[in-house]
Structure 1
Amino acid sequence: MKQSGVFIPAAETSNNCLADQLLTQSGYVQETSEGMYAYFPLAGKVLENIKRVIREEMESARVLEVDLPYEQFEHATGKSDEMILLSFIAQEVISSEQLPISVFHIKQNVRHARNPIQDSGLLYAKEYSLISGYSFHTDTIEAKENGEALLSVFSTIANRIGIPYQVIKSENEKGRTEYEFIAFSECGKETFAHSTNSSYVSKANLAEAVREELEESKKLKKAEKISGHGKGIGPLADSLGLDCSQTIQAFLYDINSEPVLILIRGDHELNELKLEKVFGTSTIILLDSKDMKKMLGVELKTIGPVQLPFGLPVYADFGVSSIVNGICGANEKDTFLLNVNPDRDFAVDHYVDIRLVKEGESSPDGNGTLTFRQGVTFARIIEPEPVFNKINVPNKESLEILTGYYYMDLTRLFAATAEHFSDSLGLKWPIQLAPYDIHLLIEDTRDEHQQQLADEIHSVMNGYRYRVLFDDRNVSPDSKRKTSNQLGVPVKIVVGDEAANGMVEVTYRMMGEAVSMRKEEVTEKLQEFFRTE
């Protein structure tokens, strides 16, 4: 393919995300309006290569592709993809022996975000391409086994594409097991905690906090009431020379319409997401000063775990249990309790993990410390909830069907992969994803020797069925080399001043090394390169 006939509209972008910069400057995509993108021929080729990998691996696992109505159909009819598929299963399946059935389809989706993420680029595009899949089962064991099989399929897909990834196992808000595939990216809006010495990784807001041991050797002092002198617990502790880790912060919450006192160490931050998981609800409300005054008869800054109303449950983070001779509110006006010790001076009903972890803490698996990185989730496998859809089979007993769900954000995968396969010069696609195998450059289109040799190499490469992009444009050699580096085609062949001697320059983009060789050597060297790669 001659480059003069390929639409490659390179442009600049003000977006700070690396993937957007790489793909826009090289003419793969352009943002047409906020969060909306146009995909040009080179992007289409890369996306098709990614889809090819996905289709091959899905089919090898007997997960077959279907094509379902556009999303607007669901809005018009009220029928979801799952409902449509279940209706077909009801027509075709006559016994449980025909199950499980697993299918997927590729569709354009629109991200309906309540709070749109600004300046986040292609990773969070409003319109995106989604691999959406469903599996149908008659029992939970079979469904779980299918989820594990899909986990292997998704891992193979990511490995073949070449993107580094991590898998996080967690529970969603419905208590169902989820496997999330994440890729690290500076433009990712999710923060992940991972170990410096192991494969441990978790969303930072769900990472388990390591419990600190109580220093038994420390002498417990007698608790005493002290005046706050109008200060809150933090400033008061500072004036007394106490570290913030010796302070106990108290919060009064309404959880499932019942008051609960929550305690956390002063140097820690309360994690409401963990709190929701502890109580199995998202209905948690932090009570304000007015409610607190009404319930405890005390102002906000002197609330504490002592002299509490009978029956008020107390939940404390594990970190509170390690406090020795600390300080807390005394539930009296401008009064605090100094040298307070948990379990001796106040009761805790339950110790739980309800704090955010911090960078540099020990990893929960005991290997290394935690470090934070930004990233995105590009795929998700959700195990079925234990709720069966009942379908009526003609002339048979009705079947109860479990549905599993799995998704892969193709647009996000494309952007994250582009970011990974790049350097300061531009993109550097691996062979399995590249839009072309070879980028053939002629430095001077007016030079007869160069033109003849370039045409000869172009013909030979086409004969070997290599996908060749032939830069025949009448621009400077430097401009052609710069463009080639930005496009990221695996092999660059430059026909230049040595053409009369039958010599060309071959550069392998991934490695960056340029080698001069005779035209007779090119075919053999390329066969060796593409075979080993």
Structure 2
Amino acid sequence: MRASRFFVSTLKEAPSDAEIVSHKLMMRAGMIKRLGSGIYTYMPMGLRVIRKVENIVREEMNRSGAVELLMPVVQPAELWQETGRWQKYGDELMRVKDRHGRDFIIQPTSEEVVTDIARTELRSYRKLPVNFYHIQTKFRDERRPRFGLMRGREFTMKDAYSFDRDVDGLKKSYQNMYDAYIRIFNRFGLQFRPVAADNGAIGGTASHEFHVIAATGEDAIVYCPTSDYAANMEAAEALQGDVSRAAPTQALTKTATPGKAKCEAVAELLNIPLNTTLKSIVLTVETAATKSAPASKQVWLLMLRGDHVLNEIKANKIPGLAGYRFSTEEEIVEYFGTPPGYLGPINTKRPVIVVADRTVADMHDFVCGANEVDFHFTGANWGRDLPEPMVVDIRNVVEGDQSPDGKGVLAILRGIEIGHVFQLGTAYSEAMNATFLDENGKPQPLQMGCYGIGITRILGAAIEQNFDDKGIIWPTAIAPFEVVLCPMGYDRSEAVKAETDKLYEALQAAGVDVILDDRGERPGAMFADWELIGVPHRVVVGDRGLKEGQLEYQGRRDTEATSVPLSEMVDFVKARLNS
């Protein structure tokens, strides 16, 4: 490719609406162009990266035995109504009507459509297992699109769906996809980590996320440096402490804490450690009236140590708490007799269900709200001053917690999710009556897996992990071009033009994805463009070097250029590409 025949469009400054590094650099490098909120045109330079990502994904999916098809972007509402996700998915689901008033959705994912295919095409055990995948446009109506391709509304995703006859088959298909993902992300040249995860809105029984490690990542990844344990924050288990609950040593005392509504302020006032205070979180669960039962409302009090944070995903899994909401101030006053800030489990105005985190269950002589403005109880103890609570893991882990595998302590780093694999089981096949006939002619529900990779999101994640003050540093495998030739005076020196053209043709013949910058730009501007764009390998051709039979090579991460004999440059570049 010659730059004069391509489209190179760079900016010195990023638009004001660009937020994080990847967003700014992709805009400046002319890779994307904003069309609307969370909607971007992929410009030629960016599209080349996307196609390389797609090619790697497609090669490894095919290698794994998956079969490619292409499902539509627009899907009939009836399929989503069968699974209940028409109502459950929420406002991110873009619902539309056609000219006849029929309901459709713009797909965020394709479980329903592929299950519809399976129930009509996979009627016998002889057709199993099978794994269908496609690379297709998705749309999620994000409330607040941001960060460019990292959290846009329209994006490209590879989603795959396996169908098996039993759980053992599902586990094999799941492992097959897990292994394929490891190969894919290794080929991208990215530092990543697979972690155990919560299934979320997709549903199912088990899942893993794949995260690119980046300081700017939105997600917290929990891992044990001395073992293989890793999970995202939502799924990481917080173990009970090693120290069992000590006997009470203080009397229960109602203590004045005027104006101190936060645990931190109470701890400071009483000159005690924050981890001896209890944090109160009030949740409400409402059930609608049915033919057999009236509407009901139940208020729950969740107790955390003052220095810990509630894990809302864990809370939602407590039996009876699914679908909870945070209680209103009116409800809190009704049940506790006081506004938020002084709440506790002792002497509530109306009965509530008390849930204590595992760490809280081990505490003694703790401080909690007295359900009266400007007062807290000190010296509170389970069993003596209030009943033993329901004990559940409801908090986020913190660095230094014991690893759930017993092989060390936990550490936390930041990551960007770029892939997710799920064991769905029969969640969709049962909802949509997708069955096959076994050897005995009996219908059985299909066991299903789901496997996604955010194709366009990978661009943002790769940049967040690979950049400097000059611009992007693409891993070679997904760079828009592997090598850029930068001739000094291409339009003025016959020798430079001749040798550059010769080298360009030789690199192309060797299978190198090379671009020749024949635009006649000044060296400084030309170098700045390609450093911003992030091409990982650069060769400079100039009259001075040619007189000595030398060319200059510089890798994007190199601090200095390397002189290479003209006759050896093709082999040198090939060796660098393969290293």
Shorter-chain TM range is 0.7 to 0.9
Q: Which residue of 1 aligns with 2:14?
A: 13
Aligned-partner residue type, residue 238 of structure 2: A
Structure 1 range deviating more: 270-279 or 443-452: 270-279
Aligned ranges 1:14-413 → 2 under 5 Å: 14=15, 15-71=18-74, 81-82=110-111, 84-86=113-115, 88-89=117-118, 92-93=121-122, 95-113=124-142, 115-118=143-146, 120-173=147-200, 174=203, 176-195=205-224, 199-214=228-243, 220-226=249-255, 238-255=268-285, 257-279=297-319, 281-288=321-328, 290-292=330-332, 294-295=334-335, 303-307=343-347, 313-330=353-370, 336-358=376-398, 364=404, 367-373=408-414, 375-387=415-427, 388=430, 389-390=432-433, 398=443, 400-413=445-458
Structure 1 range deviating more: 97-106 or 186-195: 186-195
Does residue 449 of the first structure (1) align with residue 452 of the second (2)? no
Q: Deviations over 1:333-370 (max 9, x none)?
A: 87654322222322223222223344565655553453
* Contact 1:220-1:341 within 8 A present in 2 as well: no
Does residue 462 of the first structure (1) align with residue 491 of the second (2)? no
C-alpha distance in 1 between matches for 2:117 and 2:258: 73
C-alpha distance in 2 between matches for 1:175 and 1:419: 31
* Contact 1:362-1:370 within 8 A present in 2 as well: no
C-alpha distance in 1 between matches for 2:191 and 2:538: 26
C-alpha distance in 2 between matches for 1:273 and 1:393: 34
Distance verdict in 2 for CA 1:273–1:467, change over 3 Å: closer
Aligned length: 528
C-alpha distance in 2 between matches for 1:20 and 1:413: 12
Aligned-partner residue type, residue 136 of structure 2: K
Structure 1 range deviating more: 463-472 or 98-107: 463-472
C-alpha distance in 2 between matches for 1:383 and 1:46: 30
Report the Cα offset of residue 268 of structure 1: 3.0
Aligned-partner residue type, residue 447 of structure 1: S
Report the Cα offset of residue 90 of structure 1: 5.2
CA RMSD, aligned part only? 3.4
C-alpha distance in 2 between matches for 1:333 and 1:270: 24
C-alpha distance in 2 between matches for 1:88 and 1:297: 56
SS of equivalent residue, structure 1 residue 383: strand
C-alpha distance in 2 between matches for 1:248 and 1:219: 16
Structure 1 range deviating more: 364-373 or 268-277: 364-373
Q: Deviations over 1:117-157 (max 9, x none)?
A: 43x12211221111121112222221222112111111111
Structure 1 range deviating more: 513-522 or 307-316: 307-316
Aligned-partner residue type, residue 32 of structure 1: L
C-alpha distance in 1 between matches for 2:557 and 2:262: 58
Aligned-partner residue type, residue 197 of structure 2: S
Report the Cα offset of residue 383 of structure 1: 1.0
Distance verdict in 2 for CA 1:449–1:180, change over 3 Å: same
Aligned-partner residue type, residue 434 of structure 1: A
Report the Cα offset of residue 516 of structure 1: 1.6
Report the Cα offset of residue 502 of structure 1: 2.9
Aligned-partner residue type, residue 269 of structure 1: V
Distance verdict in 2 for CA 1:407–1:8, change over 3 Å: same
C-alpha distance in 2 between matches for 1:377 and 1:493: 35
Structure 1 range deviating more: 212-221 or 427-436: 212-221
Distance verdict in 2 for CA 1:300–1:29, change over 3 Å: closer
Distance verdict in 2 for CA 1:384–1:248, change over 3 Å: closer
Q: Deviations over 1:364-413 (max 9, x none)?
A: 5553453352x33211112123343545889x765632332221110001
Aligned-partner residue type, residue 211 of structure 1: Q
* Contact 1:204-1:357 within 8 A present in 2 as well: yes
Structure 1 range deviating more: 18-27 or 223-232: 223-232
Aligned-partner residue type, residue 144 of structure 2: P
C-alpha distance in 2 between matches for 1:231 and 1:528: 66
Distance verdict in 2 for CA 1:130–1:249, change over 3 Å: closer
* Contact 1:8-1:40 within 8 A present in 2 as well: no
Aligned-partner residue type, residue 508 of structure 1: G
* Contact 1:250-1:262 within 8 A present in 2 as well: yes
C-alpha distance in 1 between matches for 2:555 and 2:299: 66
Aligned-partner residue type, residue 241 of structure 1: N
Structure 1 range deviating more: 444-453 or 211-220: 211-220
Distance verdict in 2 for CA 1:341–1:108, change over 3 Å: same
Report the Cα offset of residue 204 of structure 1: 3.1
Distance verdict in 2 for CA 1:384–1:280, change over 3 Å: farther
Q: Which residue of 1 aligns with 2:291?
A: none
TM norm structure 1: 0.86
Distance verdict in 2 for CA 1:51–1:224, change over 3 Å: closer
Does residue 498 of the first structure (1) align with residue 545 of the second (2)? yes
Distance verdict in 2 for CA 1:244–1:98, change over 3 Å: same
Distance verdict in 2 for CA 1:313–1:88, change over 3 Å: closer
Aligned-partner residue type, residue 552 of structure 2: E
Distance verdict in 2 for CA 1:84–1:442, change over 3 Å: same
Q: Deviations over 1:280-311 (max 9, x none)?
A: 64332444565455445566555433356897
C-alpha distance in 2 between matches for 1:292 and 1:24: 48
* Contact 1:450-1:500 within 8 A present in 2 as well: no
Structure 1 range deviating more: 267-276 or 443-452: 267-276
C-alpha distance in 2 between matches for 1:318 and 1:269: 13
* Contact 1:211-1:318 within 8 A present in 2 as well: yes
Report the Cα offset of residue 244 of structure 1: 3.4
Aligned-partner residue type, residue 249 of structure 2: L
Distance verdict in 2 for CA 1:332–1:469, change over 3 Å: closer
- Determine which structure has more spread, i.e. the larger CA radius of gyration: 1
Report the Cα offset of residue 514 of structure 1: 1.8
Distance verdict in 2 for CA 1:88–1:204, change over 3 Å: closer
Distance verdict in 2 for CA 1:291–1:58, change over 3 Å: closer
C-alpha distance in 1 between matches for 2:350 and 2:75: 56
C-alpha distance in 2 between matches for 1:452 and 1:527: 21
C-alpha distance in 2 between matches for 1:86 and 1:192: 32
SS of equivalent residue, structure 2 residue 484: strand
SS of equivalent residue, structure 2 residue 317: helix
C-alpha distance in 1 between matches for 2:339 and 2:116: 60
Report the Cα offset of residue 259 of structure 1: 3.5
Report the Cα offset of residue 159 of structure 1: 0.9
* Contact 1:140-1:386 within 8 A present in 2 as well: no
TM norm structure 2: 0.80
Q: Which residue of 1 aligns with 2:3?
A: 3
SS of equivalent residue, structure 1 residue 155: helix
C-alpha distance in 2 between matches for 1:157 and 1:270: 35
C-alpha distance in 2 between matches for 1:303 and 1:455: 77
Aligned-partner residue type, residue 53 of structure 1: I
Aligned-partner residue type, residue 422 of structure 2: I
